[in-house]
Amino acid sequence: MVVACDCCAGVKLSVFELLTARFWPQNINLRELWEKTLEQHQIIGDFEVDPYYVLQAISLACRKSPSCKRSEVLNLAPTDISNWWAKVTDGLAAGLHMLRDDCKVTLPKWLPYQTMLSPLAAVIAKCGSPKTPEAGAQREKLKRWFWCAVFGQVYESAPNSKSAKDVTELPAWLAGGSLPESVSTFRFDPKALRDVTPRQRSIYRGIICLILGSGTGARDFHTQAVITGKLILEQGIDDHHVFPANFLETKKGIALARLRDCILNRTLIDRTTNQMISDRAPSDYLKEIRDTAGFPFDVVLASHCLPTGDDAPFWTDDYESFLAWRQNRLWQEIQRATGVAEATDLEAVNGATATASADAAPVKFPKNPYDRYLWECLLEGGTADAIAAKVAQHFADDPQKKYRSNPKNALKWIPETIKDMKAAGLTPKLIA
């Protein structure tokens, strides 16, 4: 929507700005409400929440039939703001505290889906917090919903529809009713973790958060302190390879970048330790850490869901055994968080394989929609610019459109994707 005015003719305004202007004559100053909210709830500012998510949460909470489509948000009435602003922002802050403290979403960069904040805030606003131990039971249910939605990639597409459904079903579950669909239908195949790289943002970030929350908390490889958001910023802690990528490619002959970069081979490592690791073999750099007098080596490794003991695959640099061990260990964490009892062979269920030719062995395509479409475009052929533009257009309405609808990101991933496809036995048709 474009609004013309004396000071900003032809400038496209955000929904928040449009409603700020519309509610001004009714003595509702959205800008002032937002500033006061940031003063009252520092965590909302810490997580860089867009005020549009608050308006979406109000739209979900105030309606008999929840909806947070843009048109519905624009149709909010002044009374909706007056009645629900405080409840929703309190609910948002409470939800963020739960995610940070219990789910170990320490910083905004590790939040799997921003779009989940609106239904979370709306549900807490509608249900409130009981003055009995029932509050703790509800918190456990909300955490289970969060993890099922993250690892089930529920909000990967159509987040507005999913939000409306969850805001309809979650309150009933919290009150003792049946499971919401996002929980009851959750399935997961731990083998999929071998395909999860930073591009599969929800599962990748979810695993990092599970690692941070496993046991008594993941510990820094440098100081041995429990990793917190504050320590991450101070020590330059970020996700890095356990088996260095260059070591795997040059010494182990692992050509598939996705296998080198998968979440099974990643954990949070501080800048100092990562520089010490460089491209050394795990048997080499881990021995140096283990030989440090007084350093609780096994405790730190275990806190990152990594194998310990003399028979750990690190000491023989056995990457396949390491992947198998960690896949099983992280699957245990997913089971703990989601409540799912058994693994599902999603490849068998969905038939998610393709063949390069009638006589070729099956080729496993990426499960992530973005990666899979990029593979398909490269198989069809075209120039890099044309393929990037096609991918960006395909994902123009994606909830992660800031990333996926930008052709520059597709251009950045094309070289690595070509390597992955060739390693899988496919021939990309990139025209120079």
Hunting for tokens 């970069």 — which residue is that? 261
Please give the pLDDT value at position 130. Answer: 84
Tens-place pLDDT, residues 317-338: 999 999 999 999 999 999 999 9
pLDDT at 329: 97
Q: Whole-number mean pLDDT of the chain?
A: 89
pLDDT for 336 equals 96
**Is the pLDDT at 423 greater than 90, yes or no?**
no
Higher-pLDDT residue of 405, 276: 276
Looking at residue 409, what is its pLDDT?
85
pLDDT in tens, 24-72: 999 999 999 999 999 999 999 999 999 999 999 999 999 999 999 999 9
Give the pLDDT confidence score for residue 290 in this predicted structure.
95
Say what the pLDDT of residue 425 is. Answer: 75
Is the model more confident about 309 or about 391? 309
pLDDT score at 347: 63
Q: How far apart, in whole angstroms, are the C-alpha atoms of residue 14 and residue 25?
A: 19
SS3 track for the chain: CEECCCCCCCEECCHHHHHHHHHHHHCCCHHHHHHHHHHHCHHHHHCCCCHHHHHHHHHHHHCCCCCCCHHHHHCCCHHHHHHHHHHHHHHHHHHHHHHHHCCCCCCHHHCCCHHHHHHHHHHHHHHCCCCCCHHHHHHHHHHHHHHHHHHCCHHHCCHHHHHHHHHHHHHHHHCCCCCCHHHHCCCCCHHHHHHCCCCCHHHHHHHHHHHHHCCCCCECCCCCCECCHHHHHHHCCEEEECCCHHHHHHCCCCCCHHHHHCHHHEEEECHHHHHHHCCCCHHHHHHHHHCCCCCCHHHHHHHCCCCCCCCCHHHHCCHHHHHHHHHHHHHHHHHHHHCCCCCCCHHHHHCCCEECCCCCCEECCCCCHHHHHHHHHHHHCEEHHHHHHHHHHHCCCCCCHHHHCCHHHHHHHHHHHHHHHHHCCCCCCEEC
Work out the pLDDT band at 358, boundaries 50, 70, 90.
very low
- pLDDT at position 410, please? 84
Residue range 217-245, pLDDT digits in tens? 999 998 999 999 999 999 999 999 999 99
pLDDT digits (tens, 9 = 90+) for 112-165: 999 999 999 999 999 988 888 999 999 999 999 999 999 999 998 889 999 999
Whether the per-residue pLDDT at 7 is higher than 60: the answer is no
pLDDT at 215: 87
